Amino acid sequence: MSEVKAEALLAAVREEKLWIGRFTQTGYKAAFQEYEVRFGPAYREAVQSAGAEGLGSLTAALLDGMEADWGRQRPWNRSLARLNTRQMLVQYLSPLLLSLEEQTPGCRALAESLRDGWAARWPKETYQMATWKALQGGFRRTILGFPVPEGFGGGGNRDEM
């Protein structure tokens, strides 16, 4: 895989400051859609050009690039950088690859290969994959920790609440 292509693919996890803060009940759907538009075509093309036999080398190149990024951090920031990368994999990249599977067969295999490769390299920091719909549906509606009933706070008239 070329250096330019790897850099474009790694940007999907490197730019965590743009995306992690938007992982909220109200912001995730729009953020994921923007993420999909921005990075979906690059991953679709990479999976198609790698083919089934090249997914292992694509995975290795991505994981090597992520690890190299952490090595460029100051020693006291490296564990946080790895945590942010894992968070991007769980919240954005894996759901993106799962959603691209219908259009581009092999994307799910890349997501699974990344997850398994990560687990092999860092066995104490494994993660699971989920679709973006499953993640979006997992937000709890609470105020100060108390559950909010359906329909409450939906922008309606205060007298109706």
pLDDT band at 2; cut points 50, 70, 90:
low
Which of residues 150 and 22 earns the better pLDDT score?
22
Inter-residue contact 92 to 12 (CB < 8 Å):
yes
pTM of the prediction?
Answer: 0.82
Q: How far apart are CA 54 and CA 150, in angstroms?
A: 47
The per-residue pLDDT for range 102-152, each reduced to its tens digit, is 999 999 999 999 999 999 999 999 999 999 888 887 776 666 667 777 766
146: three-class secondary structure by DSSP: strand
Which of residues 63 and 135 earns the better pLDDT score?
63
pLDDT band at 161; cut points 50, 70, 90:
very low
pLDDT at 4 over 70: no
- Label residue 151 exposed, middle or buried (CB < 10 Å: 0-12, 13-18, 19+): exposed
The per-residue pLDDT for range 68-108, each reduced to its tens digit, is 998 888 998 889 999 999 999 999 999 999 999 999 999 99
Q: So what's the pLDDT on residue 38?
A: 95
Q: So what's the pLDDT on residue 156?
A: 45
Tally the C-alpha atoms within 13 A of residue 117's C-alpha that lie toward its C-beta: 20
Which of residues 59 and 4 earns the better pLDDT score?
59
pLDDT at 60 over 80: yes
Q: So what's the pLDDT on residue 24?
A: 86
* Partners of residue 146 on adjacent β-strands: 143
φ, ψ of residue 122 to 5 degrees: the values are -130, 75
Q: So what's the pLDDT on residue 93?
A: 95
Query: E-strand spans in the chain?
Result: 142-143, 146-147
Q: How far apart are CA 25 and CA 142, in angstroms?
A: 11
Q: So what's the pLDDT on residue 140?
A: 66
